Structure 1
Amino acid sequence: MRSCFVHHGPIRRALHRMKFHGRYRIAQALASQMAEGWARFGVEADLLIPVPTSKARQQQRGYNQAAMLAHALAERLAIPFHAYALRRARATRSQEGLARSARRENVRGAFLGDPAGYQGKRVVAVDDVCTSIVPLEACATALYQAGAASGWGFTLARAIMSKAPHE
């Protein structure tokens, strides 16, 4: 898992505008920043996919902000993009305030991979913010189970918790 920035200041404000106002132009600008991080970290992939959001959240917003970022990044890097390679098998409750073990249980089996198109490929799941690595680990598990050669998480920002949830 790699993140380009700390979720703070201008990055936090830009993500907030993109996330809550559906600004694809902001996603394109942020994807440019992600492309620089991509090169800096030496990430390699055959396919970019978004971390899926719940159906309720998708309907509420009308879009998946991770898909906006992943699509814009894929265009910038000339890497294939597949919007529905992963899907939510079930809704999960908010991870906020949960201990690591409870977070793992909350997302266990929450994602399913569609093996069509990425058997043996290096797949990178893109999200806007990593507040906990647990959902990205669950995505990677689903990707491996569906036959991907490798599964990585790549986010624009990483939230730094002031105090870790208790185990």
Structure 2
Amino acid sequence: MFSSWSGSRIRLRAIEPDDDTYYRDFADDITGARDVFMVEPPRSRERLRKDIERTGLSETSDDSFALAIERIDDPGMIGAISTHRTNARTGTFSYGLAVSQAHRRRGYGIEAARIVLTYMFTERRYHKCLVDIHAGNTASLRLHHRLGFSEEGLLREQEYLAGHHCDVVLMGLLGREFRKAQQATPQSHE
């Protein structure tokens, strides 16, 4: 059965309170946490569940939502993707993507990004996606180049991580560029 929320190997679904194990494990992955955002202090299971419930309430507000990434052949949350900074007037949005350490470099992230980009450009009529990526996160920079994003700027020493300031790369992708890149690129297991 075809679903616009499924790819060849993963599906996107609502985040459930039982997904707290994924978030606890991700918080323990200091390198992954730094790549995505920042290292945070440990949270209690109850606090984590409340945070997950709060995230779930924003699933449809102003086109901002958060979804779990799970493998079709082995259900269970392996990552998350969320849209934010949605602006219907300018037609711009951003998104964030995280995949657990055990499932990185298998193409799950790029497949999840394609699903969300297709939805936002095709169903919600957004014009441009903007992302900001820590300059040292070479895997994310490579993924976004493969999706067709272009570097649009550099924020020098913008973030403070692991004891030093680091640059942030600004990248953008227009809807027409994404559609053109998808027509030219076979959807293989990347």
TM-score interval (norm. to shorter): 0.3 to 0.5
Q: Which has the higher contact order (CA 8 A, sep 6+)?
A: 1
Q: Which has the higher strand share?
A: 2
TM-score of the superposed pair, with normalisation by structure 1: 0.34
Q: Which has the higher helix share?
A: 1
TM-score of the superposed pair, with normalisation by structure 2: 0.31
